[in-house]
Chain A
Amino acid sequence: MESLRIPILKIENVLIASIQVALHDASAVQFKDDLLQRIYDTKARGLIVDLTAVDVVDSFIGRLISDIAAMAGLMGTRVVITGLQPAVAITLVELGLELPHVLTALNLEKGLAMLRRQVEESGDGAG
């Protein structure tokens, strides 16, 4: 069965992926592979994964998100998770998952601003 591909947009040096469908395991793994390939191809300095439409983050997806952040970090790309619903954030903590290496911002706009600041501070310049 073919898995649903999540579109990955590029704006200047930042990649943005917004998850709009319930990810089953195979499509989640596909998403991770696609993201890492796009980071490599585009040399993006930042990545935003927007979870506004995601209503369940279990330990499988939680692990996937921290893996994406850790692997992107090794390639010099900062990752910001945006739009985490309050119920999802509460559930993640109760489940016992902390997401190390993962920065979060309230929404896409704040996430972009956060990445711009970080990239500037690290002296790489924006754009």
Chain B
Amino acid sequence: MAQGKVAAIRSDLDIVIARTMARDTAKALGFGAIDQARIATAVSELARNIYLYAGTGSVSVREIERSGRKGIEIICEDQGPGISSIDLVMQDGYSTSRGMGMGLPGAKRLMDEFEIRSIEGQGTTITSRKWRT
């Protein structure tokens, strides 16, 4: 399995760096143009959330394999305030920052698997995967 890559999120510039890293990795793994755009867009949303709500964190990207299928796994981690109700933040249009509230539900739709683990006061880890068709 190939070595993963990590991008630290500290500023809005790092959002662009993280999504470019994810796109390049997806491309190298053989994902087509539309999946590359889906993956880059999902990472853009999740990295912006880290920047906006936690201040700092990281995005890691790696190749995965499950029962002969190859895919990409993206882990977005922060030690920010955490999310108190995952059901609430997964609703289209819910935002505490007058954003569009489409980042989390949208990223979930763009990826194949999407899991949020969050502890209030400790931080949030979002693991998402997409499988190559």
Contacts and interface: CB of A to CB of B under 8 A. Distances in A.
Interface of A: 1, 22-26, 55-60, 62-63, 85-88, 90-91, 94-97
A63 B44 CA distance: 14
A60 B98 CA distance: 11
B102 A59 contact: yes
Contacts of A58: 41, 44-45, 48, 103
Report, as a range, how many residues of chain B touch the other chain.
Answer: 20 to 34
A87 B40 CA distance: 11
B102 A95 contact: yes
Contacts of A62: 100
Could you tell me the dominant secondary structure of chain B's interface residues? helix
Contacts of B60: none
A59 B34 contact: no
Interface of B: 12-13, 15-16, 19-20, 23, 33-34, 36-38, 40-41, 44-45, 48, 92, 99-100, 102-103, 105-107, 109-110
B16 A22 contact: yes
Could you tell me the dominant secondary structure of chain A's interface residues? helix
Contacts of A87: 33-34, 36-37
A25 B12 contact: yes
24 contacts: A1-B13, A22-B16, A24-B15, A25-B12, A26-B12, A55-B37, A55-B40, A57-B41, A58-B45, A59-B100, A59-B103, A63-B99, A85-B37, A87-B34, A90-B37, A90-B38, A91-B34, A94-B109, A95-B45, A95-B102, A95-B106, A96-B92, A96-B102, A97-B102
